[in-house]
Amino acid sequence: MDEKRARTAVVTGAGSGVGRAVALELLGAGWSVALAGRREEALHATRELAPPGAAALAVRTDVAVPEQVGALFSAVRDRFGRCDLLFNNAGTFGPGDVPFDELPYEAWRHVVDTNLNGAFLCAQAAFRMMRAQDPRGGRIINNGSVSAHVPRPRSAAYTATKHALTGLTKALALDGRGLDIACGQIDIGNAATEMTGRMTRGVRQADGGTAVEPVMSVAEVAGLVRHMAELPLNANVPFMTVLATEMPFGGRG
């Protein structure tokens, strides 16, 4: 990537967790960053943590709503003129410890709309912008999960969307060839965030019991996303998996 011009990123789910950590990592490295998320106050809290003078734009966005995604990328174009990176991070686990046959359709639909449809909408908007801008091109990084490889018990909706996201990543990487648009995915296991706080209290295991699971610093994830983002566009990391070393992963055992 050309270091002589300003680089602009869109980070969804930027109000907390991995999204906040990645946004702050990029802002600290001199990127201009559009912070997108459903909670406006959380986006402003992220912006307040940025280094003095950092170029951060907060845009309240529900990624499952096409009109709001369109407004997000219009705001990015108006403020920064281009988009060099989309970190497709917004997501939800959905309901807690619910047996599959008791999972309400509304809950399933909410997870699919956020994790998969939202990722599609943001990727499509970014792809259009990257294809048309001058210089052309950019990078899309999808936040997968180790659940894109193996599920947790009672996580059908979340697991299904993360497996689907892997297919979206592969399709975007192919469709971006010849357009200078690279796409990769980072699959994260047990980064210490608000969403994974339950790991330290005990979560259901594959054998039916519960156990406390180790976590890793979210700062490690943010550094890896930045590494992927700052590669030249003729190089790509299609898939990267990073997880707390001792967490259950292979077979979730």
Q: What pairs with residue 240 in β-bridges?
A: 186
Q: What is the pLDDT of residue 1?
A: 44
Q: What is the pLDDT of residue 2?
A: 45
Domain annotation covers residue 136:
yes
Domain that holds residue 127: 8-252
CATH of the domain at 50: 3.40.50.720
- Domains identified in the chain, total number: 1
Q: What is the pLDDT of residue 5?
A: 65
| Residue 53, burial from CB neighbour count under 10 angstroms (0-12, 13-18, 19+) | exposed
The pTM of this model reads 0.94
Which of 18, 158, 213, 233 is an active site residue? 158
Check if 105 is active-site.
no
Task: Calculate the dihedral angle through the C-alpha atoms of 199, 145, 160, 23, rounding to the nearest 10 degrees.
Answer: 100
Tracing tokens 């951060």 back to the chain, one arrives at 56
Average pLDDT by stretches of 10, the chain with 253 residues: 72 97 98 98 97 97 98 98 98 91 97 98 98 98 96 95 98 98 97 79 86 92 98 98 92 71
Domain annotation covers residue 203:
yes
What is the torsional sign of CA 50, 52, 56, 60? Answer: positive
Q: What pairs with residue 141 in β-bridges?
A: 87, 184
Domain annotation covers residue 89:
yes
What sections of 16-63 are H helices per DSSP?
17-28, 40-48
d(CA 200, CA 86): 31
Domain annotation covers residue 3:
no
Domain annotation covers residue 1:
no
Kindly state the greatest CA–CA separation across the chain. 55
Lateral strand order in the sheet of 138-143: 56-60, 32-37, 8-12, 85-88, 138-143, 181-189, 239-243
Both tokens assigned to 9 = 């990123």
